Amino acid sequence: MQTSAFSPHDHSRCITSAIGHAKSLCADRGVKLTPVRQRVLELVWQSHQPIGAYELLASLAKEGFNSAPPTVYRALEFLSGQGLLHKLESINAYVGCCNPDTPHQGHFLLCQDCHQAQELDSQYINLALKVSADQHGFKIQRHTIEIVGTCEECLAQSTALEPTP
Amino acid sequence: MQTSAFSPHDHSRCITSAIGHAKSLCADRGVKLTPVRQRVLELVWQSHQPIGAYELLASLAKEGFNSAPPTVYRALEFLSGQGLLHKLESINAYVGCCNPDTPHQGHFLLCQDCHQAQELDSQYINLALKVSADQHGFKIQRHTIEIVGTCEECLAQSTALEPTP
DNA sequence: TTGACAGTTGTTATAATATAACATAGCATT
DNA sequence: AATGCTATGTTATATTATAACAACTGTCAA
């Protein structure tokens, strides 16, 4: 089962679990989760919000890692190739993937107040995309589905603040 | 009715009609379709593929327009604010909007062979997005829906070339 | 052992995309 | 003419991403 990214939760457990998962997954696949790759994945998960490449780079630099742009972009490329994270195209930022075992591309809810992202993988949306594509004889390879708005928690807060419109 | 962007068609009529439409729409709204704005819109429509800001800028420069980046970004901002074009976030490129009267955000089929884009506005997809968002108590403001793959025409071509796999 | 390779990382430079900030110009209304 | 608003010009810089090539590391086989 899955918690919402928007709700308060013990995020350190998310990180630990995501890293453990990534390790075994890479071992199974015979690919290397090298120190810099692992650290980038940790940093992505540590962030409560989608994080940009240059912000990651700054953190790596502070920790003594090599800190030229290719370092972080290579790590991001590897991790996204392994399905361990997703890039959010509309904000040029990266988020950890909750379900890296099965190759997929998620759908994302992006809250413009708290700037958190929630990954979905709605079969309903997938079906709607497939139907539309089929109608045009279009064969889907991949997609970018990013929904921007306000999450439940932030909505509740703003209504609490302005009870009478 | 609407032709597919992927199918052969008299594209000059698309342009003329789009510009005419834009003119009357701007007049109605009391906003100015200035020469540079109009020219950017024409260039976007003239391109058979989504076109990048700096490519537009190069064309403007050749035609004697001012050619610093803000010029084209301002025009793009105006045009997209009026719903006359859309930005494709996954490829940083811009396409004309077929239906600028009703504010909306389309869904896009992007062919990775011919690099053309087809705008959809499927109620089926909109509904699926709404249902998913509602399930999470999420209020949608806007979205980015970009489906990458192969269009019908390019699929037909590639099957014609490789009849027996 | 060594040498050949594949994969990874280091390094430098640069490309591609986008915006900030402030000055100037045009034009409508007072 | 003076005022204010919108649009444009101009310079500089921020942000995001990749090219190209050199150096290192481990593995496996000759």
**pLDDT tens string A46-104:** 998 999 999 999 999 999 999 899 999 999 999 999 999 999 999 999 999 999 999 88
CA atoms within 13 A of residue A97's CA, in its CB half-sphere: 24
B120–chain A Cβ distance below 8 A for any pair: yes
Query: What's the gap in Å between the CA of B57 and the closest CA on chain A?
Result: 22
Token code pair at residue A89: 């195209």
Burial of B86 (0-12, 13-18, 19+ CB in 10 A): buried
- Tell whether the model's pLDDT for residue B1 goes beyond 90: no
Q: Which of the pair, B158 or A110, is modelled with greater confidence?
A: A110
Tell me the sheet residues that pair with A63: none
* Residue at A4 is within a domain: no
**What pLDDT shows up at residue B165?**
44
Residue from the list B89, B112, B124 with its beta carbon closest to the beta carbon of A90: B89
Structural domain count of chain B: 1
Average pLDDT, chain B: 93
Report yes or no: A117 and A51 within 8 Å, Cβ to Cβ.
Answer: no
With CB atoms and an 8 Å threshold, state whether B148 touches A147: no
Q: Is the confidence at residue B164, as pLDDT, over 60?
A: no
Q: Is residue A154 part of a domain?
A: yes
Buried b / exposed e over B128-159, threshold 16 CB at 10 Å, is: bbeebbeebebbbeebbbbbbbbbbbbbeeee
| Interatomic CA distance for residues B86 and B65, integer angstroms | 23
Kindly state the tokens that stand for B7: 């199918």
CA nearest to nucleotide C21 C1': residue = B70
Cβ count within 10 A of residue A16? 13
Identify all chain B residues contacting A138, using CB atoms and an 8 Å cutoff. 109, 111, 118, 147, 149-152
Q: Which residues touch strand C (CB under 7 A)?
A: A 31-32, 34-37, 65-66, 68-71, 74-75, 78; B 52-54, 68-70, 73, 77, 87, 92
Handedness of CA A11, A12, A17, A20 (dihedral sign): positive
Q: Which residues of B touch A141 (CB under 8 A)?
A: 112, 148-150
CATH of the domain at A36: 1.10.10.10
Q: What's residue A8's pLDDT?
A: 81
Is the pLDDT at A1 greater than 50? The verdict is: no
- State the sign of the Cα–Cα–Cα–Cα dihedral A116, A121, A127, A132: positive
Provide the 3-class DSSP secondary structure of residue A122. coil
Residue A162 confidence (pLDDT) above 70? no
Inside any domain, residue B1: no
Residue B123 lies in a domain: yes
- Mean pLDDT computed over A29-51: 97
Q: Which residues of A touch B150 (CB under 8 A)?
A: 138-139, 141
Identify whether B20 is part of a domain: yes
Asked, for residue B3, whether it belongs to a domain, the answer is no
Picking from B4, B2, B1, B3, the residue whose alpha carbon sits closest to that of residue B111 is: B4
Q: How far is the CA of B113 from the C1' of C13 (A)?
A: 31
* Residue B100 pLDDT grade (very low, low, confident, very high; cuts 50, 70, 90): very high
**Which nucleotide shows the minimum CA-to-C1' distance to residue A69?**
D17
Q: Does residue B60 form part of some domain?
A: yes
CA distance to partner chain A, nearest, from residue B56 (Å) = 21
Point out the residue among B89, B127, B152 whose CB comes nearest to the CB of A136.
B152
At residue B21, does pLDDT exceed 80? Answer: yes
The distance of A122 to chain B (nearest Cα, Å) reads 7
Structure-token pair, residue A78: 């590897």
Q: Return contacts of B117-121, CB within 8 angstroms, 24+ apart.
A: B117/B5, B117/B49, B117/B50, B117/B88, B118/A136, B118/A138, B118/B4, B118/B5, B118/B6, B118/B151, B119/B5, B119/B86, B119/B95, B120/A132, B120/A136
Average pLDDT over residues A23-31: 96
Range of the domain at B43: 11-161
Please say whether the beta carbons of B40 and B33 come within 8 A: no
| Cβ neighbours of B144 in A, within 8 Å | 89-90, 144-146, 148
Q: Provide the pLDDT for residue B52.
A: 98
- Does B2 fall in a domain? no
